[in-house]
């Protein structure tokens, strides 16, 4: 992996991708549809595998009843992206599984070509154009529910996108934190209130001049219905206030509660430990 790239655009587009996929992995209702609309430009164009083209949110809404009663899973294999024009273009490959109401099924590799609206550097851009193409049929063995992984991936990337703003703004994080949350940033630094978090994020924004996070070893375990444990390593690259390159590797364990009707799952508890402490990057 290239640890020299700026990761904000990656977190921005992956937030939207994982939210897009997880929408199809649970029963649809009006609240979830409205959340899905938040991902989309008003002029969204979707070119589907069947050769049909959907234009605008109204046409998109009209096709959603076709998914009633289906079980879907999306396992993201790879994402390649380009941000040269201000807009983000991305090519994604997934392994897709579906079980239809009549018990027929499919398992295939699918390609997505995605164009976003202009990325302002802060908010995830809207999806403006999506082209979906079948790539390769696969044998259907057993169905894997990918909703927990995709739902928590969206949460993680949105968290990192906001951490990397370095503007000291706590507001975007409030919808990511459960009631009675605990954030154990270290043994001596435990945050349990919004007021404490506001002070922490203000300090974090002033401690370095650049910050980028590369998630690795991502795993999700189901604890009970709508409650998950997430483990991930963050390979961190940044710069000190005087411009020196820095590195660290942290391990994060999150306990996450989920209401599928909400924009995001929410962090109940976070525990952070260091595999490699903050130190100069010699390269």
pLDDT at 200 over 80: yes
**Regarding the domain delimited by 8-137, which CATH topology (the fold level of the hierarchy) does it fall under?**
Nuclear Transport Factor 2; Chain: A, (3.10.450)
Domain ranges of the chain: 8-137, 147-280
Under the banding of pLDDT at 50, 70 and 90, the label for residue 282 is: confident
CA distances from 208 to 55, 123, 157, 242, 246 (A): 44, 21, 20, 9, 9
Give the Å distances, CA to CA, from 169 to 155, 163, 190, 205, 209: 17, 9, 19, 9, 16
CATH number assigned to the domain covering 147-280: 3.10.450.50
Alpha-carbon span 112 to 127, nearest angstrom: 12
Q: In 145-175, which positions are buried (b, 16+ CB within 10 angstroms) versus exposed (e)?
A: ebbbbbbbbbbbbbbbbbbbbbeeebebbee
At 51-92, the pLDDT tens digits run 899 999 999 999 999 999 999 999 999 999 998 789 999 999
What average pLDDT does the segment 193-199 reach? 97
> What does the pLDDT read at residue 283?
63
Average pLDDT of the residues in 29-37: 98
Cβ(133)–Cβ(111) below 8 Å: yes
What would the pLDDT profile of 206-244 be if each residue is shown by its tens digit? Answer: 999 999 999 999 999 999 999 999 999 999 999 999 999
Which residue did the predictor score with more confidence, 240 or 1?
Answer: 240
Q: Return the pLDDT at 24.
A: 98
Q: What is the pLDDT of residue 84?
A: 77
* Pair of tokens at residue 181: 């949350």
């Amino acid at each position: 992996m290239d640890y020299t790239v700026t990761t904000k655009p990656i977190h921005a587009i992956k937030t939207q991708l994982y939210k897009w996929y997880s929408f199809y992995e649970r029963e649809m209702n009006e609240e979830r549809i409205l959340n899905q609309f938040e991902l989309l430009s008003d002029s969204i164009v979707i070119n589907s595998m069947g050769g049909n083209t959907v234009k605008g949110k109204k046409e998109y809404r009209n096709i959603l009843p076709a998914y009633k009663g289906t079980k879907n899973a999306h396992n993201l294999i790879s994402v390649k992206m380009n941000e040269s024009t201000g807009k983000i273009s991305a090519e994604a490959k997934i392994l897709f599984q579906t079980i239809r109401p009549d018990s027929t099924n499919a398992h295939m590799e699918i390609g997505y070509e995605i164009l976003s609206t202009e990325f302002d550097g802060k908010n995830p851009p809207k999806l403006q154009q999506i082209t979906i193409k079948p790539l390769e049929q696969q044998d259907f063995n057993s169905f894997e529910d990918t909703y927990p992984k995709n739902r928590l991936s969206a949460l993680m990337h949105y968290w990192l996108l906001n951490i990397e703003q370095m503007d000291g703004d706590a507001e975007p994080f409030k919808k990511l934190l459960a009631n009675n949350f605990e954030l154990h940033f270290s043994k001596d630094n435990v945050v349990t209130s919004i007021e404490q978090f506001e002070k922490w994020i203000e300090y974090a924004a002033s401690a370095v001049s650049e910050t980028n996070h590369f998630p690795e070893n991502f795993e999700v375990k189901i604890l009970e219905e709508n409650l998950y444990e997430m483990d991930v390593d963050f390979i961190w690259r940044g710069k000190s206030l005087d411009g020196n390159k820095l590195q660290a590797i942290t391990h994060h364990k999150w306990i996450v509660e989920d209401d599928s009707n909400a924009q995001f799952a929410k962090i109940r508890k976070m525990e952070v430990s260091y595999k490699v402490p903050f130190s100069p990057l010699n390269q």
